[in-house]
Structure 1
Amino acid sequence: MPVLRILLVVISVVFHVVLQLKRGNSLTADGLSLLSLKSAIDGGGSALTDWNEDDATPCHWSGISCMNISGSNDPRVVGITVSGKNLRGYIPSELGTLIYLRRLNLHGNNFYGSIPDQLFNASSLHSLFLYGNNLSGPLPPSICNLPRLQNLDLSNNSLSEALPKELRSCRQLQRLILARNKFSGNIPAGIFPELANLEQLDLSSNSFTGSIPEDIGELKSLTGTLNLSFNQFTGDIPKSLGDLPLTVSFDLRNNNLSGEIPQTGSFANQGPTAFLNNPMLCGFPLQKTCRNSSNNPPGVQSSSRDNEGVDSHKGLKPGLIILIAVADAIGVAFVGLVIVYLYWRRKDSGGCSCTGKVKFGGNEKRKLCAFPCVGAFPSNDSEIQSEKGVDGGGSGANGSEGDLVAIDKGFNFELDELLRASAYVLGKSGLGIVYKVVLGSGVPVAVRRLGEGGEQRYKEFVAEIQAIGRVKHPNIVRLRAYYWAPDEKLLISDFISNGNLASALHGRTGQASSSLSWGTRLKIAKGTARGLAYLHECSPRKFVHGDIKPSNILLDNDFQACISDFGLNRLINITGNNPSSSGGFIGGALPYLKSAQPERPNNYQSPEARIPGNRPTQKWDVYSFGVVLLELLTGKSPELSSPTTSTSTEIPDLVRWVRKGFEEENPLSDMVDPMLLKEVHAKKEVLAAFHVALACTEADPEVRPRMKTISENLEKI
């Protein structure tokens, strides 16, 4: 193999000497070095057709970037981007003569052979993207001869052997991605303490053995996910990983790790998926507890406490039996007192209807109780049948009666006031018609009509409503009350007066788009992230929204973001209504929505969300939020995509377009919304937000961070 390599180099040198003699040195030295890449590609003449040896300069060749360098007569090559072309060949050593080359991007091809040591003579290289090829051999130790190397992505190749200890010399390295190769052996100690600038580390899907290095906890600049999954690491998880920044997520799946998971520092922010498929691991957050462990997870007691008060031979102790009996008696007496109290309270209520029963559209007025009936005690058999969803009496026979229940105890109004008030249609789509209704007190509310008819699963409907009603957060639209009748279901929520994010970014139909400053956009992003983090982490059911997009992010007069529409798909399923017959947005002011719009693919959905049958997960919301954040940054909507048009504002895939821009190190001005270019001071903040968005839109859902982590990162900007 070395003999063949030397022969190829000699042939290449002879080839270029002949070219120089033949053409009178018309092509620059950089151009001659680039022709070595063309000759190293099988069928290079047809692949790189505009790389013409008769040109005076290579600066107009496809994939080549040049720059005028002081002290040089000719523009010098600073970038090579020949990616995604499925080219087959080897990487020629002559590229090392391009001393001003800063970026080499050959990803997504079929280059084979080893990475030549001579390549690292190109001392200006700071970004090397060779992922998605078939490169083999070891990682050259001389790679850290590059003093400016910041980005190294060699993933999806066949590189092998152990990592060289010389990696410690890459002190400017920010991204080290070696996933999906054949690296093996122990990771040498002493590498990571020297990589003070490292922000991304991905060593997943290799064959690394031994223990996880203790000094990996010294990567204080690390962000996103520390990915060591799908290797053969053994032993305990180092406690030093807890010293990593709190925003770092771990992915240690599919190894042979053992022992108890530490509970210090950043370990407290990790979910169970970070440690799956390590049979010998135990401790929180896994369900497997450790024997003789004094470090029990929160809310879990040790086995000795589980058996407290129990005699292993004789069952319950007599004293404990007496205590249980006394407690039961006290409980029964208390329930009886509550029932008597509610009976007399209802009797003396002076005509207050706890259920709000009244004929739909009738003249009878009954005040809605501030505190609805506890347990929904009906007053007669007819109301019992109504609660069960059985036709009978007044409510079931003609479908004209129902229950109006206030979820917020301070939300008092009369049913007739609601039903007879002037209503303004705000929108209609797949989740119900929405009206704006101004109550007698002058307070506007949004009333969503879920539709007529439907299955009568009252108790299930109420249980879901109560779960939604318990969600109280300033960045989430508040549900205030609901109305149930066999032929009518209404949801009453706060009215958010300033439209939604889609309107704010792109304007309403027929109007020019409005200008949102960077400060306002960042405020909206932070508010949305806080609301989603609350839904995921703190809400009663750990909700998954499932449909995050700008039209579901409402804005108040101060441009505070309010998330709408969570939990509605479940309610639609319970009522059994045809989604095509209704629509709208909870609390949304959407007069610009058309009632009959053609269905578009939801370009905010994650890749796994588009597979039929997959159940929604919180990582769906993370991806969708990332797309919304990219839209805030670029001003370009993925919903405007069209396969038949190619205008500058219509991008087939916003995520792919931004990722490509970062890989090719395009100027930030090429990607960011022109409206933001006026705010020069915001450049670093915008760049930080881009990195958050790219982490959210990773293709692998396990790699995406949690919304809590995302919110914390945005708050730091």
Structure 2
Amino acid sequence: MIIVSLLLHLLINSSPSLSLSPDGLALLSLKSAVDQSSSSSAFSDWNDSDSDPCRWTGISCMNISSSSRVVGISLAGKHLRGYIPSELGSLIYLRRLNLHDNSLSGSIPTQLFNATALHSLFLYGNNLSGSLPPSICTLPRLQNLDLSRNSLSGPLSPDLGDCKQLQRLILAGNEFSGEIPGEIWPEMKSLAQLDLSSNRFAGSIPRELGELKSISGTLNLSFNQLTGEIPNSLGNLPVTVSLDLRNNNLTGEIPQTGSFSNQGPTAFLNNPKLCGFPLQKSCKNGDKTSPESKKSTGDNRDSRKGLSTGLIVLISVADAASVALIGLVIVYLYWKKKDSEGGCSCTGNEKLGGEKGKTCCCVGGFPKEEDSEAEDNNERGGEGRGEGELVAIDKGFSFELDELLRASAYVLGKSGLGIVYKVVLGNGVPVAVRRLGEGGEQRYKEFVTEVQAMGKVKHPNVVKLRAYYWAPDEKLLISDFVNNGSLADALRGRNGQPSPSLTWSTRLKIAKGAARGLAYLHECSPRKLVHGDVKPSNILLDSSFTPYISDFGLTRLITITAPSGEPSSSSGAASGFLGGALPYTSIKPSDRSNGYKAPEARLPGSKPAQKWDVYSFGVVLMELLTGKSPDSSPLSSSSSSTVVAEVTDLVKWVRKGFEEETPLSDMVDPMLLQEVHAKQQVLSVFHLALACTEGDPEVRPRMKNVSENIDKI
């Protein structure tokens, strides 16, 4: 009787675990493989008494053949210590495995690849060791593989070429070694992101990498031990691709073909034996001549040995005379061109540059304005330093100071960058007048220098500065008035909802125009300007929703004009200079935040850089796509199969959504869901925004490449 009771007791207590589905039992192996003291909250609701694991933390399920099956595991950043159990390979419907940013160790079990439905494997930021299993490409649907920041080692197997569906391959920050195999890359027709940086790869760069036609963003081979010359075939990569070949042992001249023309010097730094543009290290003849040409040169030298001394001198004199004549012709043509009216013209890219017939080409086809009449006018402004003078930068725009004083003025807004008024002149033309600080009387030349640089910026997507006023106690900037508010107003409006006019085509138009304007400031403005404060409130819109970049170059002016010993906040009173102004409107709280600033821009004492603007523009793209401000708290999204945790950072929210493959309908602005035809375009802009908001500024694309990329959408 005692034995029967004992058996019955065991049966009753064991029945709950027997009722757990096979998927649940496989998941319990993960719970057992992890040190429970390090993950007290991660598995708190993983109970073996449940019938299925679909309500467990981090588990996503889907109804397949009338039963709930596990399709996703997401336990990222849970401080897990332990190993990855091979039993997870029995989850035959598992699609996403996210265990990144934990402390898991050991090797990647080959049995894991029995889960043949896997298409996203995110294991980065752990302590995994061993080699990359060649059998990983037995996963027929594998698209995303991120194993970065582990301790994986050994060579890359040529079998990696069997991962034909792979779109992201990120192996950075490991200890992989040997040569990078060349035969695997032509097979990867869909590969969009490749990062092999910070490993121990040696040998030459395989020329087959130039066949990656789908690659976008950055091709990163930096911080390895690669040697030899850079293959010309990399010039066949898409023009929007940024190369990162830093910190290797590459030699020879940097090729100048194809996509190489779009690379900046940072792509090639810390390769001591590398030379040529864009590095500031010219190549010696011996460095850039091929073996064939060296042989030919040697033959010529041998043939000259038989020439007489007098003939050699005669040939040398003739060569020198020819060079001098060519030089004179070039100088003559240059000055003739400079003297001709209109300076020079640029064809093919007028939409990216300034006014017709008055533009000059600069790097990448972006037109660059000739030094205009702004210099002459600004120099003339020095005459009025005593009592102040209104100086017109644009010859076609002139009015008297008294006219400005008498005009009706309406306050548009006030911030740390000064008070902004709308002023309607006597001829009915409205202008925007920004009132700066009252100090800086000893820094007149600095002020004029900054205004000169701003006055030379002329681009159809940048607000044009028309005039300025300087006096010891008053500084004003007069620019075009843009009549339809800002992108911030259109996105958030009075009720916090986007304007009904913000269709997908309108948003794409705004994104393209703003990208062109910023790219012009970076590449073609006289001083290669950094905006430093890109956000929707600084992108103005006209009645047709054409965007205009505003408030560029103001940070420096505010510093100059701040009263001595006071912070540069421009908090002077609104009255006293322009009468009849309405009470100022305060800037929205979101515009005062750091939500649009790059991580490195938030550090004290950091110096503004163009990659700040790229990051900020990426956040603006995300806001255009999602309709969410980067400071809306909380951001949340859910579906029947996945729940995205609440976060307050828009960039992290979007990245998490893509990692967990959240349905697009849960991420984009609901207003855009009706435009089903735009799905592929929306995805393309999302990927561009993610590239712009990379944490490492060196990995972000240049604004010029962003503009070219978005113009193709």
Q: TM-score range by the shorter chain?
A: 0.7 to 0.9
Q: Is residue 2:449 matched to residue 1:449?
A: no
Query: What's the offset of the Cα at 1:651?
Result: 4.8
Equivalent residue letter for 1:177:
I
The residue that corresponds to 2:548 in the other structure is 562
For residue 677 of structure 2, give the secondary structure of its aligned residue in structure 1.
helix
Q: Is residue 2:669 matched to residue 1:673?
A: yes
**Percentage identity across paired residues of the two chains:** 71
Instruction: Tell me how far apart the structure 2 counterparts of residues 544 and 371 of structure 1 sit (CA, whole Å).
Output: 23
The residue that corresponds to 1:56 in the other structure is 51
The residue that corresponds to 1:352 in the other structure is none
The residue that corresponds to 1:708 in the other structure is 704
Q: Deviations over 1:403-458 (max 9, x none)?
A: 11111111122221111111111111111111111111111111111132432322
CA 1:464–1:285: 2 relative to 1, 3 Å: same
The residue that corresponds to 2:217 in the other structure is 224
Instruction: Tell me how far apart the structure 1 counterparts of residues 373 and 123 of structure 2 sit (CA, whole Å).
Output: 66
1:462 to 448, 451, 460: 448
Instruction: Tell me how far apart the structure 2 counterparts of residues 541 and 38 of structure 1 sit (CA, whole Å).
Output: 58
The residue that corresponds to 2:340 in the other structure is none
The residue that corresponds to 1:6 in the other structure is none
TM-score, length basis structure 1: 0.80
The residue that corresponds to 2:272 in the other structure is 279
Query: What's the offset of the Cα at 1:574?
Result: 2.5
Instruction: Tell me how far apart the structure 1 counterparts of residues 125 and 589 of structure 2 sit (CA, whole Å).
Output: 41
CA 1:583–1:559: 2 relative to 1, 3 Å: farther
Instruction: Tell me how far apart the structure 1 counterparts of residues 645 and 31 of structure 2 sit (CA, whole Å).
Output: 35
For residue 19 of structure 2, give the secondary structure of its aligned residue in structure 1.
coil
The residue that corresponds to 2:309 in the other structure is none
Instruction: Tell me how far apart the structure 2 counterparts of residues 275 and 372 of structure 1 sit (CA, whole Å).
Output: 37
Contact 1:147–1:172 under 8 Å retained in 2: yes
Q: Deviations over 1:151-192 (max 9, x none)?
A: 000011100000111001000000000000010111223010
Q: Is residue 2:470 matched to residue 1:475?
A: no
The residue that corresponds to 2:355 in the other structure is none
Contact 2:182–2:209 under 8 Å retained in 1: no
Equivalent residue letter for 2:654:
V
2:33 to 33, 40, 63: 40
CA 1:697–1:20: 2 relative to 1, 3 Å: farther
1:100 to 84, 93, 96: 93
After TM superposition, the structure 1 = structure 2 runs for residues 282-293 of structure 1, keeping only pairs within 5 Å, are 282-292=275-285
Q: Is residue 2:78 matched to residue 1:85?
A: yes
How many residues matched? 611
CA 1:53–1:650: 2 relative to 1, 3 Å: closer
Instruction: Tell me how far apart the structure 1 counterparts of residues 457 and 694 of structure 2 sit (CA, whole Å).
Output: 29
The residue that corresponds to 2:255 in the other structure is 262
Instruction: Tell me how far apart the structure 1 counterparts of residues 32 and 376 of structure 2 sit (CA, whole Å).
Output: 82
The residue that corresponds to 2:628 in the other structure is 636
Contact 2:154–2:177 under 8 Å retained in 1: yes
Q: Is residue 2:204 matched to residue 1:211?
A: yes
Q: Which has the larger displacement, 426-435 or 192-201?
A: 426-435
Equivalent residue letter for 2:660:
E
Contact 1:636–1:650 under 8 Å retained in 2: no
Q: Is residue 2:510 matched to residue 1:503?
A: no
CA 1:566–1:270: 2 relative to 1, 3 Å: same
Q: Deviations over 1:40-67 (max 9, x none)?
A: 1112884412111111111111111111
TM-score, length basis structure 2: 0.80
Structure 1 unaligned regions, length at least 5: 1-17, 297-311, 332-369, 390-395
Instruction: Tell me how far apart the structure 2 counterparts of residues 590 and 256 of structure 1 sit (CA, whole Å).
Output: 64
The residue that corresponds to 2:659 in the other structure is 663
Contact 2:692–2:701 under 8 Å retained in 1: yes
The residue that corresponds to 2:679 in the other structure is 683
The residue that corresponds to 2:597 in the other structure is 605
The residue that corresponds to 1:694 in the other structure is 690
Q: Deviations over 1:560-602 (max 9, x none)?
A: 1101001111122223445323489xxxx99983279799432
CA 1:617–1:184: 2 relative to 1, 3 Å: same
Instruction: Tell me how far apart the structure 1 counterparts of residues 613 and 582 of structure 2 sit (CA, whole Å).
Output: 22
2:130 to 95, 112, 137: 137
Query: What's the offset of the Cα at 1:463?
Result: 2.1
Contact 2:441–2:473 under 8 Å retained in 1: no
Q: Which has the larger displacement, 280-289 or 33-42?
A: 33-42
Equivalent residue letter for 1:188:
P
CA 1:583–1:184: 2 relative to 1, 3 Å: farther
Instruction: Tell me how far apart the structure 1 counterparts of residues 89 and 703 of structure 2 sit (CA, whole Å).
Output: 43
The residue that corresponds to 1:161 in the other structure is 154
For residue 112 of structure 1, give the secondary structure of its aligned residue in structure 2.
strand
Instruction: Tell me how far apart the structure 2 counterparts of residues 403 and 59 of structure 1 sit (CA, whole Å).
Output: 73
CA 1:591–1:96: 2 relative to 1, 3 Å: farther
The residue that corresponds to 1:240 in the other structure is 233
Equivalent residue letter for 1:57:
D
After TM superposition, the structure 1 = structure 2 runs for residues 416-565 of structure 1, keeping only pairs within 5 Å, are 416-508=402-494, 513-515=498-500, 516-565=502-551
For residue 68 of structure 1, give the secondary structure of its aligned residue in structure 2.
strand
Instruction: Tell me how far apart the structure 2 counterparts of residues 376 and 109 of structure 1 sit (CA, whole Å).
Output: 59
For residue 631 of structure 1, give the secondary structure of its aligned residue in structure 2.
helix
CA 1:702–1:414: 2 relative to 1, 3 Å: same
For residue 25 of structure 1, give the secondary structure of its aligned residue in structure 2.
helix
CA 1:19–1:637: 2 relative to 1, 3 Å: farther
Q: Deviations over 1:465-512 (max 9, x none)?
A: 11111100111000001112222111110000111011110113x675
Equivalent residue letter for 1:664:
E
Instruction: Tell me how far apart the structure 2 counterparts of residues 571 and 649 of structure 1 sit (CA, whole Å).
Output: 42
Query: What's the offset of the Cα at 1:193?
Result: 0.7
The residue that corresponds to 2:24 in the other structure is 31
Contact 1:192–1:215 under 8 Å retained in 2: yes
Instruction: Tell me how far apart the structure 2 counterparts of residues 209 and 525 of structure 1 sit (CA, whole Å).
Output: 41
Instruction: Tell me how far apart the structure 2 counterparts of residues 572 and 238 of structure 1 sit (CA, whole Å).
Output: 48
Query: What's the offset of the Cα at 1:636?
Result: 0.9
The residue that corresponds to 1:121 in the other structure is 114
For residue 390 of structure 2, give the secondary structure of its aligned residue in structure 1.
strand
Equivalent residue letter for 2:51:
A
Query: What's the offset of the Cα at 1:460?
Result: 2.5
The residue that corresponds to 1:305 in the other structure is none
Q: Deviations over 1:266-295 (max 9, x none)?
A: 000000000000001000000011001798
Instruction: Tell me how far apart the structure 1 counterparts of residues 67 and 520 of structure 2 sit (CA, whole Å).
Output: 58
Q: Is residue 2:180 matched to residue 1:195?
A: no
1:179 to 172, 182, 189: 172
CA 1:197–1:583: 2 relative to 1, 3 Å: farther
CA 1:266–1:597: 2 relative to 1, 3 Å: closer
Contact 2:390–2:400 under 8 Å retained in 1: no
Contact 1:159–1:181 under 8 Å retained in 2: yes
Query: What's the offset of the Cα at 1:127?
Result: 0.6
For residue 436 of structure 2, give the secondary structure of its aligned residue in structure 1.
strand
Query: What's the offset of the Cα at 1:614?
Result: 1.3
Contact 1:638–1:650 under 8 Å retained in 2: no
For residue 581 of structure 1, give the secondary structure of its aligned residue in structure 2.
coil
